[in-house]
Amino acid sequence: MHMPLEDSLGLNLLAANQHQAAHNREHFDAWKLLCLNVMSSPGAGKTSLLERSLPLLAQDFAMAVLEGDMTTQLDAQRLEAVGVPVVPITTGRACHLDAAMVCGGLRLLRERLDPAGLDLLWVENVGNLVCPAEFEVGEHRKVALLSVTEGEDKPLKYPVMFREADCVLITKIDLLPYLPVEVERIEEHVLQVNPRCRVLRVSASSGAGLEAWHQWLRQQVALQRSSLAAPGPDPQRTADPALSALI
Amino acid sequence: MHEVDMTRALLLAMEGWRQSHKPQVPLVDTVHLQVGAFTCVEPDQLVFTWQAAIQNSWLEGAELAIEPVALLGRCLCCSATYTPEPERGYRSPCCEHPMEEIVQGRELRIRSVDYQLPQPDTATAFLPLSAPRP
């Protein structure tokens, strides 16, 4: 038996997904919209936040939602009820959206409207603090939610998700008076892992903190528009050098 | 569950590599994969799902050799590198600076593949009947 050959590949395991994600992003840029990937554990309040924010943002922005869900279309129905076009993406057994699924959602969206008329495209990911962090879908910004009921240690236990986020929303802060939780410790843990992200406290129930969150969104839309007007590297997405080397 | 998706991604990448050897089908001995500590992949589970996924495929019998890559951060305050211990947090032990820079630990990379090419007279035996003959 002869010695085996060896091919040095240096191939990123997620190259196929990243290729599809780049393709999606090209479409987003051609349509001049900002795409946000919203991620959290199940029950952290992604849909509730969008239910509250979308009607308020609709005064300024044309929007649509790609709604990822493993088995039902319940979240999609909730968001349709606030008057925003929603395309449900039922993932079946998959615990996250990948770029190909989002591409399929975009095809369905284009049957309903012209995406070039949108300012913001929301991708509400499947509830999961692990997998969505690794599978980009072509988004310009990642938003991670963490509710105060989940505990102070979650950014340390699921660091990849919080490292990847451009904005971390600490949700359900209206419950703080009833919980032995120090919100400052949650913020400190997030910033240990990712000192560059924006951390905001919000409550979809009381409306606290929403104005700061919406202000951050407006800034991102403006930054995206200016980056498209002057092509070059996206200043908000400065990837880790170790990761960039793999792509 | 995500190891199943990672295995699927790995098989997809390997399929692309196989296509580069067309019309021959390489006999793969070992796939060398680097897995960083700062990823969402558990090496043992990835090996388990790999072994299940390659049954009755062109990769049957191939070993998945995982090379773990430790997380290494760099303190931007004093430039020292360090490996965070999650229980103690991600700040640098030297200056208590947040983890600004990751030097390594995000790898999910097929580093290399050990393989053999079948002899010319047996090469076509591996092709499906519907595939064009070389």
Q: Where along chain B do its domains lie?
A: 2-71+104-118
From the CA atom positions of chain A, what is the Rg in Å?
Answer: 18
Whether residue B99 and residue A4 make contact (CB cut-off 8 A), yes or no, is: no
Q: Of A130, A10, A69, nearest to B4 (Cα)?
A: A130
Task: Give the residue from chain B lying closest to A192, CA to CA.
Answer: B98
Q: Which residues in chain A are closer than 8 Å to B109, comparing Cβ atoms?
A: 10-13, 246
Residue of chain A with shortest Cα separation from B108? A13
Q: How far is CA A40 from CA A57, A94, A165, B38, B57, in A?
A: 21, 15, 11, 18, 36
**Quick one: pLDDT at residue B122?**
52
Q: How far is CA B34 from CA B24, B46, B105, in A?
A: 26, 12, 9
Q: Encode pLDDT of B28-41 as tens digits.
A: 999 999 999 999 89
CB contact under 8 A, B112 and A8: yes
CB within 8 Å: A5 and B17: no
| Residue located via tokens 């971390």 | A168
Residue A13: the pLDDT is: 85
Answer yes or no: are the C-beta atoms of A115 and A109 closer than 8 Å: yes
**In Å, how far are A17, A124, A138, A177, A204 from A99, measured between CA atoms?**
6, 13, 7, 40, 28
Residue B107 has pLDDT above 50, yes or no: yes
- pLDDT at position B118: 84
B-chain residue closest to A98, CA distance: B5
Q: pLDDT by residue (tens digit) across B38-91?
A: 998 999 999 999 999 999 999 999 999 999 999 999 999 999 999 998 888 999
Q: What is the mean pLDDT of residues B11-20?
A: 90
The burial of B88, by beta-carbon neighbours within 10 Å (0-12 exposed, 13-18 middle, 19 or more buried), is given as: exposed
Q: Do B106 and A242 touch (CB under 8 A)?
A: yes
Could A93 and B33 be called an inter-chain contact, meaning their C-beta atoms sit closer than 8 Å?
A: no
Residues in chain A: 247
Which pLDDT score, from 0 to 100, does residue A136 have? 95
A41 touches chain B (CB under 8 A): no
Helix (H, G, I), strand (E, B) or coil at A154: helix
CB atoms within 10 A of CB B117: 14
Which chain A residues contact residue B5 at CB under 8 A? Answer: 94-96, 98, 131, 135
Residue A27's φ and ψ, nearest 5 degrees, are: -65, -45
Which is nearest to A53 in space by CA: A207, A173, A157? A207
Task: Identify the pLDDT of residue A82.
Answer: 93
Q: Name the 3-class secondary structure at A68.
A: strand
User: In this structure, which CATH number among 3.40.190.170, 3.40.50.300, 3.30.2320.50, 3.30.360.10 belongs to the domain B2-71+104-118?
Assistant: 3.30.2320.50
Pick from A175, B132, B56: nearest CA to A183: A175
* B55 contact partners, CB below 8 Å, separation of at least 6: none
CA nearest B4: which of B34, B47, B38, B36?
B47
Alpha helix (H) residue ranges in A113-239: 154-157, 159-164, 183-193, 210-229
- Quick check: B132 pLDDT over 90? no
Nearest to A114 by CA among A54, A33, A51: A33
Contact A11 B114 (CB under 8 A): no
The model carries a pTM of: 0.86
How confident is chain A (247 residues) per 10-residue block, as mean pLDDT?
66 87 97 97 96 97 94 88 93 86 96 97 94 94 98 95 98 97 97 97 98 98 91 50 36
Whether B131 shows a pLDDT value over 50: the answer reads no
How far apart, in whole angstroms, are the C-alpha atoms of residue A81 and residue A140?
A: 26
